[in-house]
Every structure is written in C-alpha cells, then in structure tokens.
Structure 1
Amino acid sequence: MAGTLAKLACMLFLCMVVAKAAMTCPQIRGGMVPCINYLSKGGSPSAACCTNLKNMVNSATTTIDRQDACKCLKEAAGALQGINPTNAARLPSNCKVNIPYKISMSTNCASVK
C-alpha cells in the first residue's frame, strides 16, 4: 500500500512538472488520483484535482494529444469501480476547465478535435 501511494505521488509530481508537454496516459491517470473521491462520492473536487485537470488540458495542444487524453480518461474510468458518471461529466465545469469533449464512457474520442 505504501509503495502504491509513493508511485501515485511520483506520478502526480510528474504531471505537475510536465504541464507544457503532452502528458502520457500514466501521467494523466496519476494526475486524476486526487479526483477519485469526488468522482465516486461527489461534493467538490479538490484543488489538486482541478490543478491536474487544468494541466492535462493545457498540455493537450494538438488534436492527437486531446484524443489520446480522452482515450486515457475513458480507460481509467473503466478500470475504476464506483465512479459516478454524473460526477465525471461535471468535473470540468466544477473545476472551471473547458474540455472539448464530455468525460463519459460513451464519448467517441476519435471525434475529438
């Protein structure tokens, strides 16, 4: 458990450091760790969650970057149990972040521009 938390903390740190370059899927997943409580229980997303979401959006500067981020978010959401789809869809607006696609398992990432 401690090893897993250390790995997640390292991934979160990498997400903050690499904010200007396109993020890899492991970096995106790590950056979403602070969002898990919100995604499952609702309420308000943490500041760390919103910061990491903003970093992801800012790093995705091309269509391919945005499509890859979309695919990664869908894969991560599918792998986690207990995620409330409504909370996931509301995450961008609750973080005041504009994402050019809906965070949903039904989003067609190939259509993201």
Structure 2
Amino acid sequence: MKSSTQAVPLLAILMLVLLVSPPSVAALTCGDVVRDIGPCLNYLKSGSGTPPPPCCTGAKTLASAASSTADKQTACGCLKTASKSMNVNPATAKALPGNCGISLGFAIDPNMDCSTIS
C-alpha cells in the first residue's frame, strides 16, 4: 500500500516536468550542413548538368539528417547564409536536390524565408 501512495506524487512530478520542458531543438548544426554539402561547392559555383557523385552523396546525407521541421529550418538557414557568402549560382543551387534525386523539403535559395518551412 505504501508504494502506491508514493507513486502518485512521483507520477505527478514526472508529468509536470514533461509539460514544462522546452520543445525539441534542432539536432542538425551548420557544421553538419557544410560538411555534407562541401563536396558540392565547385558544382554550385560553376557546374552544370549532373552533380558529381560525392556531392549527391552529401546531399542525400543532409536530406536524411534534416527530418524534423527544426532541422530543415536549420539546414535552410545555413545553406542560405553559405550560398550568399560563397557566391553560388542560384539556379544550380535550386536544381541540386532534383538533380541528385532527393527532396530537402525546401529550396536552396538565398531569398528563402526559412521560418516558413514546416
């Protein structure tokens, strides 16, 4: 009998902790994004046609890693910043996911509003 009366307050505390804990945050970092897309840099600056296999491998890794909304928004923001600072060809960047046969769930676009990604 004593153990059941102790379990009720413990359960209530556990439920309270779950209710007030912060929402999940992105597990993906800009370092991860840059590492995955790094093999695409030359292609994104001056390439055309089919991206090189290491580029598509990295893009596929990124697509797999960016599964949650928070991760997609992080990846979008990182790619947006990187594309502006590295002077990539916007058309090539937008076409990259399709050319690699993947979907990121957002466009690689220096003008993308990453907060609209769901």
TM-score (norm 2): 0.72
* Bigger radius of gyration among the two: 2
Q: In the alignment, which residue of structure 2 is the partner of 1:3?
A: none
Unpaired runs of 5+ residues, structure 1, are: 1-20
Identity fraction in percent = 37
Q: Which moved more, 1:38-47 or 1:67-76?
A: 38-47
User: Does structure 2 retain, via aligned residues, the 8 Å contact 1:34–1:48?
Assistant: yes
- Counterpart CA distance in 2 for 1:42 and 1:61 is 27
- Counterpart CA distance in 2 for 1:104 and 1:85 is 6
1:39-50 matches, cutoff 5 A: 39-43=44-48, 44-50=50-56
Q: In the alignment, which residue of structure 2 is the partner of 1:9?
A: none
Cα deviation, residue 23, structure 1: 3.0
Q: Which moved more, 1:61-70 or 1:25-34?
A: 25-34
Moved over 2 A (4+): none
1:1-113 matches, cutoff 5 A: 22-43=27-48, 44-81=50-87, 83-113=88-118
Unpaired runs of 5+ residues, structure 2, are: 1-25
TM-score (norm 1): 0.75
Q: Which moved more, 1:67-76 or 1:37-46?
A: 37-46
- Counterpart CA distance in 2 for 1:30 and 1:52 is 8
Which SS does the other structure have where 1:32 is aligned? helix
Cα deviation, residue 69, structure 1: 0.6
Which string of whole-angstrom CA distances, capped at 9 and with x for unpartnered residues, describes residues 43-84 of structure 1? 221111111111111111211111011001111111113x11
Structure 2 residue identity aligned to 1:78: K
Q: Paired residues, what number? A: 92
Cα deviation, residue 99, structure 1: 1.7
